[in-house]
Structure 1
């Protein structure tokens, strides 16, 4: 049984001499194994700690010698083992949580004198210099021949780049890297993201540029990435749409969607209140969602989309008279901001409410409305705007919905008056 982590051995006698420990751990390899006991002809089980300064290792007897385990923060890779003789506390940190739990279990069994055949014992031999090096934080693999097939990724990684390796899927070994903050899988052949990528609870930057992605799953958008993901690059893929739940990723600051096949942006994109940099150049966007007006950006790039000059008279009529009872009830729930969820109402009604449109009058419409498009200068939502087309324009069409004929008529009247002036 071996464990790699940071270790500080603190003597409990120091305070009585007016001294204190240095409070900083050293990288070490801990082993539990058999060693001849000088006071007995039999072998005993020892804990050996090897560091860069002492690769031969310091040994501590375990049987009936552990006073207490401190495991409040074991899920964070931290624990303390208090020995009776010598009077020291062995403070462990920066360990893999699962490995640490297994190691402490083995130490507890050794302390109780359990049958040695049930213990995963190691040979107590000096370690190699590379075994006690500081944990690796960054790793870049830029070719298929360098990709690890038999060994794991260092658990301590905070930044991992794997590019030009022809990966067709995300390696599940990457999803166990709990400290990972940046994952760059650009320039591969990945078609689908596993829902469990949301288990990377520290991930703030995800780069998937130039892959074969065809969809972003709802599960990913509803994972812990809602609270951590700040940079997302899914440019140069095969995406046609993004799920409505995409706008649950509310910590996003930088979003790159260039060179896909997107026919629309997420309906509630305005909920990305922290978004500052948005690029969706070279897609198939005909118009922007009405919620786009709520954004407040530093930089916006929509070049190369087939935007068409809007005409308020061109509209889509989806009204019936009278309105169905379900539409009236759903509008009322949206206007009154009544809380809802699948535990209260059917899932299809939840989806309708999630996509409620807001009319010029401020009231909601759901599945029955009149839709048109109006021109908006993109400088209204962004400090810097990349030209929308080769003609030097910075205007783009934005969808607008109306809950009734009277609201649409008022809009046409005001548009006509502005045109006359």
Structure 2
């Protein structure tokens, strides 16, 4: 029985010596093998009872592998993260921790069950491997990167290697995301550019380690809300949606708090998510050649290194503001403002869904208060150099200024800021 994974063997004495482990595993094949007979051991070596299993850890540098006794020799098994393909085996002799990672969770569970039986001296209900050196081909199965650039090379009859961390499937004429890709739990980079994908499954959010997602040059017309609420909120750092047909992004898109690089070039965007200021880690933003008329109020909260808004249809600031004040405030408005001001948790399981939508789309006044149904809307002009180190000119006239929408919760805030309006 063999398990391809990454392995780190570290001494249990390191903490007592004030030392830290290297903290990084190497590609290996871990095997449950039949314990060697007395004739196979070196003179003076300890023999094992016939039928017992031992653990063999083989790497590319040491294909012969290192053998560890299992019977009554496992001090503890750490299996809290077994569903993520991780586990640690602590041995008594020698006193080491064998840390396994990037393994198939199902195979890992079976492997650990067999190890428990071997520790107790029971018969292992699986076939045991031999103590022969592991073939080089066994390590080749443990691929972490696969690049496919044509339809004829796309695998149809066999699965993707489970250990993949980087998968590129470009120019393959894919009409949808292959569900087999969503089983690659170690995937960190997924490139599906230059295909014909029209819709994204929300289950992409199950790729908990995904950091880079490239969907450039497809036929996407929208970006799903469930995907914005998935575990990608904590992992996704780079997203390329350029050369699609997206007209708007949902307000929930701004929940990708770890996003540092966002490419929206060559779409049909009429506006950016007005909560875009919540993307506090965003450093590179490209939204060139869209149909943007103005920028949302929270855009000025960004702190970017690079900004490209060239080729948009920015309008001149409106001379007259839009006044939609309600005096006094309705009870509903006052309650919604209190929920936001005091950061009271809310959700569709607590209050009606339409009220959640109102709270999610609340505007922020220049004074910091929140506006929902009662507000004054005005347009100002902002120099983009105030929020980005490098700015691409927005048109051929050499301008770096763009109109930005501002909201005011009261007439007082509007008058105090009237010198900003044009």
1:367 aligns with 2:373: yes
Q: Answer with 375-384 or 259-268: which moved more.
A: 375-384
Q: How big is the shift at 1:291? A: 0.9
Q: For 2:224 and 2:138, how far apart are their aligned partners in 1?
A: 40
- Post-superposition Cα deviations, 1:52-95, rounded to whole Å, max 9, x if no partner, equal 57767788887x565544325653624326488xx786835335
Q: For 1:92 and 1:139, how far apart are their aligned partners in 2?
A: 26
Q: For 2:23 and 2:405, how far apart are their aligned partners in 1?
A: 60
Q: Which residue of 1 aligns with 2:269?
A: 262
Distance 1:241 1:61, change over 3 A: same
Distance 1:291 1:56, change over 3 A: closer
Q: For 2:23 and 2:420, how far apart are their aligned partners in 1?
A: 71
Any unmatched runs of 5+ in structure 2?
13-21, 40-48
Q: CA-atom RMSD, angstroms?
A: 3.8
Q: How big is the shift at 1:361? A: 4.7
Q: For 1:53 and 1:360, how far apart are their aligned partners in 2?
A: 63
CA contact (8 A) 2:52 2:123 kept: no
Q: For 1:406 and 1:34, how far apart are their aligned partners in 2?
A: 83
Distance 1:110 1:348, change over 3 A: same
- Post-superposition Cα deviations, 1:81-139, rounded to whole Å, max 9, x if no partner, equal 6488xx786835335151222111123335556677xx232564764321135943332
- Write the mapping of 1:8-407 to structure 2, written as runs, cut at 5 A: 27-32=27-32, 44=51, 46-47=53-54, 49=56, 52=60, 67-72=74-79, 75=82, 77-80=86-89, 82=91, 91=98, 93-96=100-103, 98=105, 99-110=107-118, 112=120, 119-121=125-127, 124=130, 127-133=134-140, 135-313=142-320, 315-319=321-325, 323-334=329-340, 336-342=341-347, 344-404=350-410, 407=413
Q: Which residue of 2 aligns with 1:15?
A: none
Q: Structure 1-normalised TM-score? A: 0.80
Q: Which residue of 1 aligns with 2:4?
A: 4
Any unmatched runs of 5+ in structure 1?
13-21
CA contact (8 A) 1:340 1:350 kept: no
Q: For 1:212 and 1:197, how far apart are their aligned partners in 2?
A: 17
Distance 1:129 1:261, change over 3 A: same
CA contact (8 A) 2:4 2:142 kept: no
Distance 1:189 1:351, change over 3 A: same
Q: How big is the shift at 1:233? A: 0.9
Q: For 1:317 and 1:330, how far apart are their aligned partners in 2?
A: 20
Q: How big is the shift at 1:279? A: 0.7
Q: How big is the shift at 1:210? A: 0.9
Between Structure 1 and Structure 2, whose CA radius of gyration is higher?
Answer: 1
CA contact (8 A) 2:216 2:243 kept: yes
CA contact (8 A) 2:169 2:192 kept: yes
Distance 1:28 1:285, change over 3 A: closer
Q: How big is the shift at 1:404? A: 4.2
- Post-superposition Cα deviations, 1:128-164, rounded to whole Å, max 9, x if no partner, equal 3211359433321111222223333333333222211
CA contact (8 A) 2:53 2:128 kept: no
Q: How many matched pairs?
A: 400
Q: For 2:24 and 2:252, how far apart are their aligned partners in 1?
A: 44
Q: For 1:26 and 1:381, how far apart are their aligned partners in 2?
A: 43
Q: Answer with 88-97 or 145-154: which moved more.
A: 88-97
Q: Answer with 368-377 or 205-214: which moved more.
A: 368-377
CA contact (8 A) 2:163 2:186 kept: yes
Q: For 2:36 and 2:166, how far apart are their aligned partners in 1?
A: 44
CA contact (8 A) 1:70 1:81 kept: yes
Distance 1:113 1:160, change over 3 A: same
CA contact (8 A) 2:86 2:101 kept: yes
